[in-house]
Amino acid sequence: MCIRDSGYLAVACTAALAVQCVIARDGLLQAVQRQGQGLRERLQAAFGAHPQVGDIRGRKTPFDPTLKPDAQVRREAMARGLMVYPMGGTLGGLLVPLIAVHMFVFYFGLMADITPPMGLASFAAAAIARSDPIKTGITAFNYSMRTAILPFLFIFNTQLLLIGIENWAHLLLTITISITAMLVFAAATQGYFLVRSRWYESIALLLVVFALFRPGFFWDELYAPFVEAPAAEFRKLVEAAPAGANKRVWIEGQDINGKDVRKGVLMPLGDAAAARERLRKLGLTVVPLGNEMQIAQVQFGSKADKLGIGQGFRIAGIQKPADRPSKEGCSSPRWRCWA
């Protein structure tokens, strides 16, 4: 092994092994498990029967008592110095399927092996190549920055995650467009297609890539993706939705700080059933209030609770997909532009 280039890897591995030996020798893991179990039992005895505590959550340590969805109780708890974290919400009004968010985080987690401050894969490659680890890390970082925009495509074009695919033809079209877009993206960022590209040709290729990866951006300018439906039709639309559908709903109310909020949520409706049954499985009870729908009850720990829907909120609006041509309809102009 070359001490100059990769000797630090042996030192790091030796240090890690020593830490594990100490943990095993002193029984630190077993001690944490015993203390965690004791803490959980004491918290359960102190707060388990409290009317405003829904659950004692956590594995091993740490644990935290979870308050029931009552804005007044949470405000009072915060006023007395307790840390209360309200769950749920959207990204500035952008409604994103949960799997797309997971893939977004997962992608950047993988990039941590290449980019600072970790760069484990880059440093390992430097040791194998016997090159300078800092220079190798910087070079890997420069190459990786070109792909930093790719996870955003999972957010804005969920068909790349096979969400919203209607049939086999639609699947093949999506795969073909995605592969082509990745090849064109590589050509644009490397500055070389069949021959070396001029700077304005690379810009044109990037525009084509954007149109291929994010076709809805241009299509939405021509045709509105959603139409508004009155809140009074909420139950009717829930019952008419197909199995496995998500309903885009905008709700309004007050948060735990007493501030007026308006946010959108994607309600998973599950299997086809009557509106009352679907909402019951969601953990939601709604009642009509004039031309509006009021959220009368939110079951603790339910899907509705995890979405951040609070008791007393009202349904301000419903969005349903508009009847418009498929966004793949603009593929022909994009192919001609690429050619």
Neighbours of 29 (CB within 10 A): 11
Which of 233, 231, 273, 268 lies closest to 252, judged by CA? 231
How much of the chain exceeds pLDDT 90, in percent? 0
| pLDDT of amino acid 89 | 47
Residue with tokens 């049939």: 167
Residues with Cβ < 8 Å from 7, sequence gap 6 or more? 1
Q: How far is 195 from 243, CA to CA, in rounded Å?
A: 50
Residue 251 in any domain: the answer is: yes
For residues 261 and 255, is the Cβ–Cβ distance under 8 A?
A: yes
119 and 45 in one domain? no
Same domain, 132 and 55: no
Same domain, 115 and 61: no
Q: Which of residues 90, 119, 150 is at a domain's end?
A: 150
Band of pLDDT at residue 87, cut at 50, 70 and 90: very low
Answer whether 283's CB lies under 8 Å from 304's CB.
yes
The pLDDT value given to residue 5? 47
Q: Which residues constitute the domain of residue 138? A: 98-150
Q: 276-310: per-residue pLDDT in tens?
A: 888 888 888 888 877 778 888 888 778 888 777 87
Report yes or no on 207 lying in a domain.
Answer: no
Whether 15 is in a domain gets the answer yes
Predicted model pTM: 0.53
By CB atoms closer than 10 A (0-12, 13-18, 19+), residue 24 is: exposed
Whether 216 shows a pLDDT value over 80: the answer reads no
Q: List, for residues 160-178, the tens digit of each pLDDT value.
A: 788 777 788 888 888 888 8
Chain position carrying tokens 């359960």: 44
Q: How many structural domains is the chain composed of?
A: 3
Q: Give the whole-angstrom CA distance, residue 330 versus residue 215.
A: 8
